[in-house]
A and B are shown apart, each in its own frame.
Chain A
Amino acid sequence: MRLRKITEPVFERLIKICGYSSGFIVLLIVIFLFKEGISFFNLSPVDEGSMLWVHNSNSVQELDAAQIKDIFDQKINNWQTVGGKDLPIRLFTLDEVGKAFTAEQLGPKFEYLPKCIDSYMDSLPGAIGFFPEKQTAGLLKSAKAVEVDKVSFSSFISDTEWFPTSRPAARMGIMPLLLGTLLVSFFAILIALPLGLAASIYLAEIADERVRKILKPVIELLAGIPSVVYGFFGLVVIVPFVQNAFNLPVGETALAGSIVLAIMALPTIITVSEDALRTTPRAMKEASLALGASKWQTIRKVIVPYAASGITAAAILGIGRAIGETMAALMVTGNSAIMPHSLLQPVRTIPATIAAELGEAPFGGLHFKALFALGCILFIITLIINLLVERVSAKRR
């Protein structure tokens, strides 16, 4: 009796601590994610420690990441295109300076390098160069630094190009990834929801007990298969199927991704909605049948409406699985970060991008932080979906 007086409050406190700490951990994850993600904005897309220089007489003051990439890809050849004078653009690299001057002129420890750059630059009014800050800042008289637009939230969202490793300026537009994710998930759920609902109705109401006893555990087992295995299955079965069916050059497309994700989401959708359907009280079913309703009318008008909130929950879980799925999406969608125009085209999803690129992004760098910002976007999308569905199902009740 006395022992219980001591142990019970201890257990109560322990459970309380567990509750608080798990809540706290979730909060910490969110805070950490957003701290890294938000610090990405207002960074310069140009590599840290480097600067872009143009000739003093050039009237161009500012360039954005897209313009810089086009200039260095030689898609833009004239300063007029970016708001300057009619003058051909001359790309200008450190190598060139090294070749144009003798070792003596450069100095034994390259101490005269800035001077050499300066005089070389002076002779090229259309030049643009990309140099380490250390060797140029404050040392060039013939050239001026170009202001580079910082990465803003709006450009991050609306820019349609994702070239995070492009130099001198990275292009961080998540539009293609965002659309890729939404496209693949939307069609995945479009396939999985009707199939899953039909299967769960079959299991809950139509299948006889023997069939159910075999089928239900098998379906539950499917939920436990690692996503890499689904990816393999997709690569070997779905991808060639899509390729042949639509006569495509490659089968790794948004459609293949949708099908694989739909298959992955199915077990969750089936199990959760079947459980919901089975919670319909027997009395409710009997009341409907006793009024002369057929089995199908009873399913459609009483059982499914009664289980609506559970079915919505199943749909959320399915969407969550599809949007967040990384490995399988990485394996079968083709991974090209271009704006998707059709289902029969390779796309790249946000989670696949994070998984594929995080390994090569230098820790703490621009690219690294961009991936965290992507993570934040993913988090926000799933949050919005959850809140939306929550409201819809609350309204129904």
Chain B
Amino acid sequence: MSNKIETIDVNLHYGDFHALKDISLGIPENSVTALIGPSGCGKSTYLRLFNRMNDLIPETRITGKVLLDGENIYKIKANKIDALRRNVGMVFQKPNPFPKSIFENVAYGLRVNGITDKSFIEGQVEKTLHQAALWDEVKDKLKKSAFELSGGQQQRLCIARALAIEPSIILMDEPASALDPISTGKIEDLIFELKAQYTIVIVTHNMQQAGRVSDYTGFFYLGSLIEFGKTRKIFTNPSKQETENYISGRFG
């Protein structure tokens, strides 16, 4: 399987803080890659490299290469960043729907990208709400505010919102950490179904979750990538001592 994303010797500094240290890693296409590690280890920062979300934080310096389909996304022109982000969807830690209706939340990405065809938008909204396993719950109240949904429903709405513009990569930053077990289960089922079409990178705190949903796992510690490999191998037979300590719950 080829690598969809590849980073080569990436270093990232927030002011004086060295947040990512010499990270080289390839993320395979149409698979689920989990990034695990204790708080502050840099896994979320690493995830946010891929859609250049770190650009929003002042005093960030990045060196090294981040290749997406072979192209260094830190060398593209500033006006191409919007296009990059269209290709790389993101689901955040806490559900963050817009203060708009359910329909408008999903349609937002289409509208800001200049799509005005009403029937296409309607079709896309319905399709992605089906994909996100939310359609049956919201089909009668598409005009209602997204804030009326439960936390789990809101998060699935955010996933539908990310899917609506048809990205090829979906980044998930602890997507289930604010949710109850049942909602978490639904999100995990969803991830499982989506991986046929998308390359998914998921940051998680939850060891069992990483074990359940991912094909590959990377373990981060203090800004460095300690180990990367097939999830089964990392969880059953890690080659580094730190990985084993973390996975067996000795720290973190």
Query: What residues of chain A have their CB less than 8 Å away from a CB belonging to chain B?
Result: 208-209, 281, 283-294, 297, 301-302, 305-306
Contacts and interface: CB of A to CB of B under 8 A. Distances in A.
Interface string B82-100: 1101101110111010111
A302 B158 CA distance: 15
Contact of A292 (B58, B94, B112): B112
30 contacts: A208-B58, A209-B58, A281-B96, A283-B93, A283-B96, A284-B96, A284-B98, A285-B56, A286-B53, A286-B90, A287-B90, A287-B92, A287-B98, A288-B98, A288-B112, A289-B53, A290-B85, A290-B89, A290-B90, A291-B89, A291-B108, A291-B112, A292-B86, A292-B112, A292-B165, A294-B112, A297-B112, A301-B111, A302-B99, A305-B98
Nearest to A297: B112
Interface of B: 51, 53, 56, 58, 82-83, 85-86, 88-90, 92-94, 96, 98-100, 108-109, 111-113, 158, 161-162, 165
Nearest to B87: A292
A289 B88 CA distance: 11
Contacts of A289: 53, 56, 85
A283 B92 contact: yes
A283 B83 CA distance: 20
A208 B96 CA distance: 25
Contacts of A306: 98-99
A213 to B, nearest CB: 13
A286 B56 contact: yes
Nearest to B94: A283
A289 B96 CA distance: 13
A291 B92 contact: no
Contacts of B90: 286-287, 290
Given A292-B112, A294-B112, A302 B83 contact: no
B188 to A, nearest CB: 21
A290 to B, nearest CB: 4
Contacts of B111: 301
A285 B89 CA distance: 14
B82 A302 contact: no
Given A292-B82, A292-B165, A302 B113 contact: no
B56 A291 contact: no
Nearest to B53: A286
A302 B98 contact: yes
Contact of B92 (A286, A293, A294, A302): A286
B99 A305 contact: yes
Contacts of B108: 288, 291, 293, 301
Given A283-B93, A287-B96, A288-B112, 6 more contacts: A284-B98, A286-B56, A287-B158, A290-B88, A291-B108, A291-B165
A284, A287, A288, A306 pick with most chain B CB within 10 angstroms: A287
Contact of B162 (A209, A284, A291): A291
Contacts of A302: 98-99
A292 to B, nearest CB: 4
A291 B82 CA distance: 8
Nearest to A289: B85
A300 to B, nearest CB: 10
A294 B112 CA distance: 8
B142 to A, nearest CB: 18
A283 B93 CA distance: 9
Nearest to B98: A302
A305 B98 CA distance: 9
Nearest to A208: B58
A18 B99 CA distance: 38
A142 B126 CA distance: 94
A397 to B, nearest CB: 8
Contacts of B51: 290
A281, A283, A287, A292 pick with most chain B CB within 10 angstroms: A292
A227 to B, nearest CB: 37
Nearest to B96: A283
A209 B15 CA distance: 15
